[in-house]
């Protein structure tokens, strides 16, 4: 892992603890989208903090992953505004297209599907976040095209 980059991040904050989150984001990028235990230890060592402090942050934030994820992350907001205009139907369409249930990764490792809390785009529900980019609004009939686009891009 790029320990120099983490050290550089740490200089941008008055407290080392404040650098944990950006350091973990960097570590996750470098570890293929998730944080194995050695990444937690490396970040802790680089910031001169206890691994438990780093792990507490890693386990709190939804965008940090402590288990392997697919090449593509598909997240469907199922909170109230999205639920009212068909989030469950959109989620079900992704389940059918990808062949996985929410929280699962496809056997080929290409897709992870998740149901998430409010993504902050309530005015354009249903919000779907694909590889950290918002698609909005998404209707069930849009789902095959999104999945096809992702498969074509691989
Ligand atoms: S409830 Fe879905 S974006 Fe807010």
For the chain, the structural domain boundaries read 3-60, 72-153
- Out of 84, 90, 115, 118, give the residue to mutate to test ligand 1, the one with the largest number of ligand atoms within 8 Å of its CB: 118
* Per-residue pLDDT at 80: 97
Whether the CA torsion 149, 71, 99, 129 is positive or negative: it is negative
- pLDDT tens-place string over residues 98-134: 999 999 999 999 999 999 999 999 999 999 999 999 9
- pLDDT tens-place string over residues 18-31: 999 999 999 999 99
Residue 77 near ligand 1, beta carbon < 6 Å: yes
- Out of 82, 114, 123, 137, give the residue to mutate to test ligand 1, the one with the largest number of ligand atoms within 8 Å of its CB: 82
Strands (E), 80-143: 111-116, 128-130, 133-135
pLDDT band at 17 (very low <50, low <70, confident <90, very high): very high
Q: How many angstroms separate the Cα of 44 from the Cα of each of 36, 39, 55?
A: 13, 8, 9
**Interatomic CA distance for residues 6 and 60, integer angstroms:** 20
pLDDT for 88 beyond 80: yes
Q: Please tell me the distance between residue 124's alpha carbon and the centre of ligand 1 in angstroms.
A: 8
Tell me the fold of 72-153. Glutaredoxin (3.40.30)
Q: Please tell me the distance between residue 135's alpha carbon and the centre of ligand 1 in angstroms.
A: 12
pLDDT for 90 beyond 90: yes
Residue 127 near ligand 1, beta carbon < 6 Å: yes
Estimate to the nearest angstrom the gap between the alpha carbon of 81 and the chain centroid: 21
pLDDT for 154 beyond 90: no
CATH class of 3-60: mainly alpha
pLDDT for 73 beyond 90: yes
């Amino acid at each position: 892992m790029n320990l120099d980059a983490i050290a550089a991040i740490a200089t941008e904050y008055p407290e080392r603890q404040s650098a944990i989150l950006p350091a973990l984001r960097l570590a996750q990028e470098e570890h293929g989208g998730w944080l194995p235990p050695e990444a937690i230890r490396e970040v802790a060592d680089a910031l001169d903090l206890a691994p438990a402090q780093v792990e507490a942050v890693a386990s709190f934030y939804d965008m940090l992953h402590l288990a392997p994820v697919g090449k593509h992350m598909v997240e469907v907001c199922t909170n109230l505004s999205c639920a009212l205009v068909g989030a469950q139907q959109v989620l079900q369409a992704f389940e059918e297209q990808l062949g996985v249930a929410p929280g699962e990764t496809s056997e080929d490792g290409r897709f992870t599907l998740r149901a998430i809390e409010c993504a902050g785009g309530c005015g354009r529900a249903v919000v779907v976040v694909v590889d950290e980019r918002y698609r909005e609004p998404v209707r069930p009939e849009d789902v095959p095209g999104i999945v096809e686009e992702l498969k074509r891009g691989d």
